[in-house]
Amino acid sequence: MWDLALKNIMRNRIRTILTTLGILIGIGAVVALGSIAEGLNATIQSSLELTAGKITVQQAGAGIFGMGSELTNDDVELLKSVSGVKDVVPIVVFLGPMQGFSGPEYVVVGIDPDKMNYFAGENFKLYQGRNIDEGESGVASVGKAAADKFNIQIGDSWTVKNEDFEVVGILDTTGISDIDSSILVPLQDLQAALNRDTYYSIYAIPDDVKDTEKVVVAINDASDNLQALSSAELARQASQIVDQIRFFTFGIGAIAAFVGGLGVMNTMIMAVMERRKEIGVMKAIGATNSMILKQILMESAMISLIGGTGGILIGVGAAIGLGALSGGSIQGYVTPTLALEGLAFALFLGVIGGLYPARQAAKLDPVEALRYE
């Protein structure tokens, strides 16, 4: 009977198209906003890979990524003394100029050259050139993405606050965006360039990864000024934020979609009123109440599924468009789950919107409906 449903909804084309548009915009909003939340999640998850197996130490009360922490050498010494800590990696970060939504243009990370493996991973490889030697000064390693972005060659120099750094190596792609798009320089050099003797954050490396949580507790007990977070804890906090964003974006989209659902209900109520007599005829020639119910639900489901499918396409388009507008930092990420959720939500709206008119239609008394003028 789907062919009849299509025929029926196409009777009043303009009304059906407008109703479909309502659903389309609503589901489009759900998908587009949802895709941004998914994209954000993917970005954050990739950043968090950086902290795997490490304990991130910030000043107590600092934000999730340690913004604004001022950690000192005393803190470094204190951390070294905590039992279960194998090594301590202080870092300094300098952010390039901000580019609207896309965040900083580049990131310069100051780190001890011999501790690079903690930052770039045990198995980081060079794409070109060599590693920075211990104690070396005025040199830089560049992530592959940053090298590509700024067309950096070995031997080029990179300037941070009037200090020049000669690029001696380009790192192979790690897949962790914070490394691939970073410029790595010796710690003391960056401190000097920035004229600061404090650290942005400190990674504490546990003797045994299994004891990470114990070491976190030990660090937090050892100092009131320091706040240690395991990567699991960071992940948990990040996913909380992502969940809040998801909830918020879904909420906005859902309101739009809900209005679309009201449109479906309105359209179907009108259609049932207009087709009273016809429903009477259908009953007279043998249609049961449940058949009439199904027929009307099919029609509202069809409107909402067409709208939902269109909405997913529009949502994908919007996600891609936003990604392009933001220069790639906001990646709209339309996962199959998100698309399915969008479609399921559309269907839900259609069925809910159609239920009341469908029940009214099913309940119509055939004798009255037949002679309705």
351 near other proteins (CB under 8 A): no
Please select the residue that binds other proteins; options are 95, 252, 284, 325, rule is CB under 8 A. Answer: 284
Indicate the DSSP class of residue 172.
P
The residues in 60-119 that bind other proteins, with binding defined as CB under 8 A, are none
294 near other proteins (CB under 8 A): no
CA distance 309 to 347: 10
Q: Is 359 exposed, middle or buried (0-12, 13-18, 19+ CB in 10 A)?
A: middle
CB of 20 to other proteins, least distance (A): 18
17 near other proteins (CB under 8 A): no
Please select the residue that binds other proteins; options are 42, 222, 281, 313, rule is CB under 8 A. Answer: 281
User: Residue 256 has which token pair?
Assistant: 């739009």
Stretch that binds other proteins, among 67-75, 159-167, 222-230, 289-297 (CB under 8 A): 289-297
278 near other proteins (CB under 8 A): yes
Of 6 and 269, nearer to other proteins (C-beta) is: 6
303 near other proteins (CB under 8 A): no
286 near other proteins (CB under 8 A): yes
152 near other proteins (CB under 8 A): no
Among 119, 124, 127, 157, which Cα is nearest to 139's?
157
> How many residues bind to other proteins according to rule CB under 8 A?
23
Max Cα separation, the chain? 97
Give the E-state strand segments of the chain in sequence order. Answer: 55-59, 85-95, 107-111, 126-129, 139-142, 157-160, 163-171, 182-186, 201-206, 226-230
Phi-psi group of 135: left, alpha or beta (phi > 0 → left; psi -120 to 50 → alpha; rest → beta): left
Q: 79-91 burial string, b = 16+ CB within 10 Å, else e?
A: beebebbebbbbb
273 near other proteins (CB under 8 A): no
14 near other proteins (CB under 8 A): no
220 near other proteins (CB under 8 A): no
366 near other proteins (CB under 8 A): yes
Residue 149 neighbours by CB distance under 10 Å: 14
Please select the residue that binds other proteins; options are 283, 333, 345, 350, rule is CB under 8 A. Answer: 283
What length does the chain have? 373
45 near other proteins (CB under 8 A): no
Stretch that binds other proteins, among 141-149, 164-172, 288-296, 351-359 (CB under 8 A): 288-296
User: Residue 232 has which token pair?
Assistant: 């699991």
User: Residue 317 has which token pair?
Assistant: 């388009």
Among 203, 202, 214, which Cα is nearest to 83's?
214
Residue span 227-266 as binding mask against other proteins, x where in contact by CB under 8 A, dash where not: ----------------------------------------
Q: Is 328 exposed, middle or buried (0-12, 13-18, 19+ CB in 10 A)?
A: exposed
Of 215 and 361, nearer to other proteins (C-beta) is: 361
Q: Which residues bind other proteins (CB under 8 A)?
A: 1, 3-4, 7-8, 11, 277-278, 280-291, 366-367, 370
